[in-house]
Structure 1
Amino acid sequence: MTDELMAQFSRMRHYVSALGELIKSAQAQAPGRAEGSDHSAAVHVKVGADGLPESFHITTDWAEWITPEDLASSVLEAFGAATTNRLDAWTENLEDSEFLATVRELDGGPEKFPRTARNRDVPATASDPAVPEVEPRAPDLIAEDAIKAFENVQRSANTAPPPESTGTGAAAGRKVSITLSKFALLSCAIDPGWAARQTATGLMNSLATALGRAKSDLAGKTDAASTMDSGVDGLFAEAIALLRNPRR
């Protein structure tokens, strides 16, 4: 292997390592939770570190401020406010860290990645927590599987993308239902006639039950999708292992 290729592999290894650190840094700065309310302040939603609802709070006098017909939309409004508050706090955390400076360093790709004192000393065995340590196969075998994977991607590019995985949960005889994606509360439905006869505690209990069932439903579908992606993940791990030791 020529010195020029060795230098290119070295830059790539440092670049990949820096990308891993950047992702780690962003995740570490994410707020643990945030809260928001609807315009009436009768409905409050707390979101967790994953951006999904954790809990709902409805004031005892909610019916004085919103109608039963508007209750579901108020839940969605409160979730939107909580999400905005979480993103604002996350942005402030990132601005107070070295995150933006690292983003500027990575802009332009590995060829322009600077060999500063901060990234020059990354050891060849540095591990990326997002990529498992593996013993790579021969490069020609990896290349053959990678070509097949790229061909599959090319074929799928000409077809409609698969729908996003969602999870749905219901409670109180389906008078309350919630639908989640991996990152957001997509919908909330509450039967107005039923809601008008409920206390705030009864409403919150039903929302919590529907939320738990939606999260369980989503988790099952997410696990299935992760299994389908495991082959590509394995190829990526082998490629990273080669980059960490280019003399292979």
Structure 2
Amino acid sequence: MDNVFRQELEQFQSYTAELQGMISGLQGSRPERAEGTDAQGAVRVRVDGDGLPQDITAASDWGKRCRSGGLGMAVVEAAHNAHSELMDTWSQGFPSGPWDASPGRGNMGAAPALRAEAHGTPVPEERDTRYVISRPLDQLVEDVISSLSAANSFEIAPDEAAQASGSDPASRVTVTLTPASLASCDVDASWAAKASVTQVNRALGEALADARSALARSSASERAKGEEQKADGLFDEAMAALRDPSRLNNL
């Protein structure tokens, strides 16, 4: 391996380590919760850091704010707005990266400390890969490609197993969740028109709790967690390989 390639590799290693630190920073800066309402202010939804609803609350005068039979749609709209607020708040806290200075490689060639100083952020803490045993590179690359394909199919074309529904004991309200959002909310319009706001909110809360429990038990939820853990493991292996230039001698 010639000196020029070694220098480029060292720069790439530094860049990758900083990028990993920024990814960790993104995960750490994610808001714990956010709130949103529908356009008429009939429903307020609070979501957790994963985008799943924690609370659904109908206003005392929701019946005047919603069109006939529109409570379920108001819940979906409020949940969507809460999710958007979560993402907006999160994006405002994104740490700056080496790609900010210019298109393409940006400041990639600069030393990590200089890049961090230029952006006014501390040098990110590197991931500890001392005890990671990286497999042969061809196997690692194959697993990375498979993992990316699985992630894309999971996000872009979710199947029915990716959803979980729950209802109140009387089945007057049904809430359907995906691993990252509220998909739908069906409310018995004739019942809601006669029920008190206390009864409506109780049914909404019971249906939501039932849906969250069902989602936690679903294979889709377990699959999402498994893919995330697998991605972390593959990243550690890649970092371990990059920090050992001798692994690349035969390339």
Instruction: Tell me by how many angstroms 1:237 deviates.
Output: 2.5
Matching residue's letter, 1:204: N
Matched, 1:224 2:223: yes
TM-score w.r.t. structure 1 length? Answer: 0.74
Segment of structure 1 superposing worse, 209-218 or 108-117: 108-117
Q: How does 1:184-223 map to 2 (within 5 A)?
A: 184-219=181-216, 220=218, 221-223=220-222
Give the Cα separation in 1 of the matches to 2:231 and 2:43.
Answer: 43
2:63 is matched with 63
1:176 is matched with 173
1:240 is matched with 239
TM-score w.r.t. structure 2 length? Answer: 0.73
Counterpart among 133, 136, 151 of residue 133 in structure 2: 136
Instruction: Tell me by how many angstroms 1:5 deviates.
Output: 3.6
Structure 1 235/37 Cα, relative in aligned 2: closer, same or farther at 3 Å? Answer: closer
Matched, 1:167 2:164: yes
2:120 is matched with none
Matched, 1:104 2:100: yes
Segment of structure 1 superposing worse, 110-119 or 194-203: 110-119
Instruction: Tell me by how many angstroms 1:194 deviates.
Output: 2.2
Task: Give % identity.
Answer: 27
Give the Cα separation in 1 of the matches to 2:12 and 2:29.
Answer: 26
Deviations 1:179-215 (A, max 9, x none): 2223221211111122223222222222222222322
Q: Secondary structure at the match of 2:166?
A: strand
Q: Secondary structure at the match of 1:196?
A: helix
* Preserved CA contact (<8 Å) 2:99 2:107: no
Structure 1, unpaired ranges of 5+: none
Give the Cα separation in 2 of the matches to 1:36 and 1:163.
Answer: 25
* Preserved CA contact (<8 Å) 2:165 2:174: yes
* Preserved CA contact (<8 Å) 1:68 1:193: no
* Preserved CA contact (<8 Å) 1:15 1:110: no
1:32 is matched with 32
Q: Secondary structure at the match of 1:54?
A: strand
1:17 is matched with 17
Aligned residues: 234
Give the Cα separation in 2 of the matches to 1:28 and 1:147.
Answer: 28
2:140 is matched with 146
* Preserved CA contact (<8 Å) 2:29 2:93: yes
Give the Cα separation in 1 of the matches to 2:90 and 2:148.
Answer: 36
Deviations 1:150-203 (A, max 9, x none): 7857998xx996526233222233321222223221211111122223222222
Q: Secondary structure at the match of 1:205?
A: helix
Matching residue's letter, 1:87: M
Structure 2, unpaired ranges of 5+: 118-124
Give the Cα separation in 2 of the matches to 1:134 and 1:110.
Answer: 32
Q: C-alpha root-mean-square deviation of aligned residues, in Å?
A: 3.7
Structure 1 162/80 Cα, relative in aligned 2: closer, same or farther at 3 Å? Answer: closer
Give the Cα separation in 2 of the matches to 1:120 and 1:168.
Answer: 46
2:85 is matched with 85
Give the Cα separation in 1 of the matches to 2:23 and 2:149.
Answer: 30
Structure 1 116/236 Cα, relative in aligned 2: closer, same or farther at 3 Å? Answer: closer
